[in-house]
Amino acid sequence: MNRIIKLSFPYKEKTKVSISKIINSDNIYKTIDFFTYKIFLKNKLKYKKIKQKNNIKLKNIINLHNIDGLDLKKIKSMFSQLKTGKPVLSNSGLPNVKLAKLDNNYVLFDGHHTILAYMLANKEYLNQIPYLIVSENITDNTIKQFFIEHSNKLKNKNWRNYVVNWQVQKNKQLCGKIQKNIGELFESINEPDLRPELIKKVKEIDKQKSIKVKDFIKRYTKK
């Protein structure tokens, strides 16, 4: 089975992009492991510096966690790191933000905390942050693999209606989806220390007449 992995890092006014073709099993985690250990860590990549268009909005990306499945302190820590100018990457140097492209949709299977931290840092488009995308031969069954031991429970169900919360006991980990995309997940952050940054962010959005600042402040300053 062939898959394509696109790796992208912001570089000044352009983007460093690498495209790799992987011949591997239908297990997407094995695809990622092969790419990581056999290609990326062995420095076998060739990058091109290109100027990518702002055509993939972070807010439209599909999430696999609700807000209660995330650690807001972790988001805050990552955001603090971004303010120093240091990108948030995994220990291997790969982007934390990893996506699978299913038809014209992008599903975030790793890096929910990271992508929200970047949004707090005023990033709105995918090409503005480091990311990895797996494409080709991605099906609904591929996406169900991200639910790990709960994937069998989704055999005859629509995975789009579910998320997983690894922070609770096993019999409660698979649950219904509340926030439908990363944009809704971002709007659900209710961390006091992050409110000033959120209000600043929404003021910028308000200029585009997409939300009223007073409604936002009223919602997120409730005690």
* 11-48 residue pLDDT tens: 888 899 999 999 877 899 999 999 999 999 999 999 99
* Confidence (pLDDT) at 222: 46
Angle between the N-to-C axes of helices 195-206 and 213-220, in degrees from 0 to 180, rounded to the nearest 10: 160
107-146 confidence digits (pLDDT tens):
999 999 999 999 999 999 999 999 999 999 999 999 999 9
| pLDDT over 60 at 205, yes or no | no
Q: Where are the alpha helices (DSSP H) in 9-147?
A: 28-34, 72-83, 112-120, 140-144
pTM (2 d.p.): 0.85
Give the pLDDT band (50/70/90) at residue 9.
very high
What phi and psi, each to the nearest 5 degrees, are found at residue 207? Answer: -60, -25
* Confidence (pLDDT) at 43: 92
Cα–Cα distance for residue pair 124/206, rounded to 1 Å: 14
Q: In degrees, to the nearest 5, what angle opens at C-alpha 144 toward C-alphas 95 and 167?
A: 65
Of 5-9, 23-27, 79-83, 107-111, give the lowest mean pLDDT range: 23-27
